[in-house]
A and B are shown apart, each in its own frame.
Chain A
Amino acid sequence: MPDAPILQVSGLNVFRGATHVLKDVSFEVARGELVALIGANGAGKSTTLLALSGLLPARSGTARMTTDEGTIELTRASTETIVRAGLIHCPEGRQIFQSLSVADNLALGAYARTDKDWIAQTTEEVYRLFPILREREKIPAGALSGGEQMMLAMGRALLGAPKLLLLDEPSLGLAPKVIDTIFDVIAELKARGVTILLIEQNAAMALEIADRAHVMEHGRITLSGTGASLMENDRVRQAYLGVSA
């Protein structure tokens, strides 16, 4: 089914403790698309990604990933199975393994992959995209700068062979120059046909690069459209782009 959306989320409800965080969230991501989720802190963006990778249980609703290898119910599968199926989640705050070397971090990114040649080739590619990582190969990842850690997190995600890549706030806390590097890589991945679901607090950059975007407020998707159309939307401009009416 080459035309089925790679991700179909429908009526998803997620609780964290007693708090109802996601309320009937439904959206789709088509193959090769870059979809952005924007919204204020606490709107439920990260929770959405955590539920998709099987780290938070869904109370009701479905999330389905369809690839050439078949369809997988993300709300019922284990994270291990989900990662093997090609859903790679680059989490908020990078979450690299600080005490492990850069090379070990990259090797862990490829933990679910078995093809040694592919891993060696992709590791080379990551080093080409981020040459600084090759220089720091043997150093504990915790000693890297924030920007380098983000590059490592991206590189590690690429070694998972993502069919669907979830990026949670890749620009958070980084210098503008590093953000540009990260977004260049995101654009390159998109050009190569990797499907991406992107969360960004930097709404302007996200909308610029996204094919489509959804605005999340209080656990619901309240507005959807193409990146360009949302950039023109008055409400979005006021609330998220800092443009006064």
Chain B
Amino acid sequence: MSQYLFQQLINGLALGSLYALVAIGFSMIYGIVRLINFAHGDLVMIGAFATLGMLFYGTPWPVTLLVVLLVGALAGATIQTVVFRPMLGAPQVTGFIASLAVSITIQNSALMLLSGQPRNFLFPEAMRQRVSLGGVSASLTDLVIIGLTLTLIAILFVIVYRTRLGRAMRATAENLMAARLMGIGVNRTILAAFAIGSALAAVAGLFWGGKFGQIDPLLGSVPGLKAFIACVIGGVGSIGGAMLGGYILGLAEVLFVGLLPQAYAGYRDTFVFSLLILILLIKPSGLFVRHVEERA
């Protein structure tokens, strides 16, 4: 494989990892309470600034990662408790509009507290070097992002498919009333889904800063929107679908830029959205959802 193609591939997988981390949480939240949560992307920003704060105090990386997970989980749990819990059972559009309000509130609070000035954000020297792998080389940052993302997703799958909490979450997502009749504390289960999904988005913020080197209070908008697209590609409500949707989107973006003539690079979002429209025309329920179930 040529160095150029390999580099594009790794770059696409790293970008896809970021999208997948955000998309999974988006999908989990939609799956369990049918909420299109447009504030989800702002957890990426919160995670990025939490990382910046930790870096300022020279916290070791493993600790930073854990703290960012925790900050994301707490932020997600708080948003759910304060804003979305009272709306359980309200029409879908109520939650949707509330999520826009949450997003605007978070972004503007961040602008007031942190100023709109972009901040430089650098992984340590050791992380920014390139590693060579038998004739081709890649940036260590990208490899770490891909590796940690896959590890986190593996842990998530164990939680969702192998634990009592995961079973309760899947049951609640499918049938809220029946879940209640099993004696499941559905409020706690929904809270857990928000916390887990938000923690993953916050980690994406850590990676985002590391990959692009600069963060600002509005940086959550793009990953939030891309996560939504990734979910639609993969099938909203499915965790595996959101993950694959994220990787497809990341790879597609990078390959469009990498393989098309330079003059078209500025149109990469045009190609991405065309891909989305094409997928929706061919398979409206998403690529990885076998059948669409509507909750009564």
Contact = CB atoms under 8 A, between A and B. Distances in A.
A103 to B, nearest CB: 10
A114 B177 CA distance: 22
B175 A97 contact: yes
A149 to B, nearest CB: 12
B184 interface: yes
Contact of B184 (A80, A88, A98, A156): A80
Contacts of B185: 78, 80
Contact of B182 (A55, A78, A99, A108): A108
Contacts of B177: 55, 91, 95
A80 B184 CA distance: 6
Contacts of A95: 175, 177-178, 181
Interface in B139-178: 164, 167-168, 170-171, 174-175, 177-178
A84 B171 contact: no
A166 B181 CA distance: 11
Nearest to B238: A99
B180 interface: yes
Contacts of A104: 167, 170-171
B180 A55 contact: yes
A53 B181 contact: yes
Nearest to B185: A80
B125 interface: no
Interface residues of A, number: 24
Nearest to B184: A111
Interface string B279-296: 000000000000001000
A79 B167 contact: no
Contact of A112 (B175, B178, B182, B293): B182
Nearest to A54: B180
B293 A79 contact: no
B183 A111 contact: yes
A107 interface: yes
A221 interface: no
A83 interface: yes
A170 interface: no
Contacts of B167: 100, 104, 107-108, 111
Interface in A79-109: 79-80, 83-84, 88-89, 91, 95-100, 104, 107-109
B13 to A, nearest CB: 29
9 contacts: A53-B181, A55-B177, A80-B180, A80-B184, A83-B183, A97-B174, A99-B170, A111-B164, A111-B168
Given A97-B178, A98-B293, A108-B184, 13 more contacts: A53-B180, A78-B185, A83-B182, A95-B177, A97-B171, A97-B175, A99-B170, A99-B174, A100-B174, A108-B171, A111-B167, A111-B183, A111-B184
Interface of A: 53, 55, 78-80, 83-84, 88-89, 91, 95-100, 104, 107-109, 111-112, 156, 160
